[in-house]
């Protein structure tokens, strides 16, 4: 194992750690944080109560983590992609899976970038539409926290597929 191999190993580790931090945090917020905040809001009854304050505080703390993870994912992803694509082990199936992973990652980055801005714009009207209409539900389904989390989980799965395809290519 030479110095370049060690550097690439550290870059792979940073890439995986950033992905797990972001998507793991998103899963936590989706499966634990949001239901807990919803129960706080329901128990207190008022829309602008402690649950709303806690939700904004959690989002404010998580936003820099997401920004850092995205920056690390982009930098390390470019390096790892160039490293793998310059190898003879990267065949057409590898390239196709990589393109799918990059497209889904860009989709997730877009959701992460738009989500806080959309929420700020809707904060004044948050209490007036208790039941969203069909258009709002579709928009939330494709650009909300659940869509972000699902895209992230699929990207992590594609990373495993890429590893398998690359190892298969190395084996010949």
Instruction: Tell me the per-residue pLDDT of 44-91, one tens digit each, with 9 for 90 and over.
Output: 665 556 677 888 888 889 999 999 999 999 999 999 999 999 999 999
Q: Which distant-in-sequence residues (6+ apart) come within 8 Å of 97 by Cβ?
A: 158, 161, 162, 165
Number of folded domains in the chain? 1
Report the range of poorest mean pLDDT among 7-11, 90-94, 119-123, 156-160. 119-123
Model pLDDT, residue 36? 87
pLDDT higher than threshold 80 for residue 129: no
What's the mean per-residue pLDDT of the chain? 87
Burial (CB count within 10 angstroms: exposed 0-12, middle 13-18, buried 19+), residue 165: buried
User: Sign (positive/negative) of CA torsion 105, 107, 109, 115?
Assistant: negative
| 69: containing domain | 3-171
DSSP per-residue codes, 41-84: HHHH--TTSHHHHHHHHHHHHHHHHHHHHHHHHHHHHHHHHHHH
Quote the pTM value.
0.81
């Amino acid at each position: 194992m030479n110095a370049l191999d060690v550097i690439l190993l550290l870059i792979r580790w940073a890439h995986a750690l950033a992905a797990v931090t972001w998507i793991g945090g998103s899963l936590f917020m989706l499966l634990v944080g949001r239901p807990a905040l919803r129960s706080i809001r329901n128990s207190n009854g008022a829309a602008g109560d402690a649950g709303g304050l806690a939700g904004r505080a959690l989002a404010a703390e998580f936003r820099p983590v997401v920004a850092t993870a995205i920056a690390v994912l982009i930098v390390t992803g470019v390096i790892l992609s160039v490293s793998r694509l310059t190898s003879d082990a990267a065949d057409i199936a590898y390239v196709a899976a990589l393109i799918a992973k990059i497209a889904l990652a860009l989709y997730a980055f877009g959701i992460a970038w738009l989500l806080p801005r959309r929420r700020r714009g809707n904060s004044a009207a948050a209490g007036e539409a208790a039941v969203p209409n069909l258009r709002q539900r579709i928009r939330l389904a494709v650009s909300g926290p659940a869509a972000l989390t699902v895209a992230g989980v699929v990207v992590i799965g594609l990373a495993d597929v890429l590893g398998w395809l690359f190892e298969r290519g190395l084996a010949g």
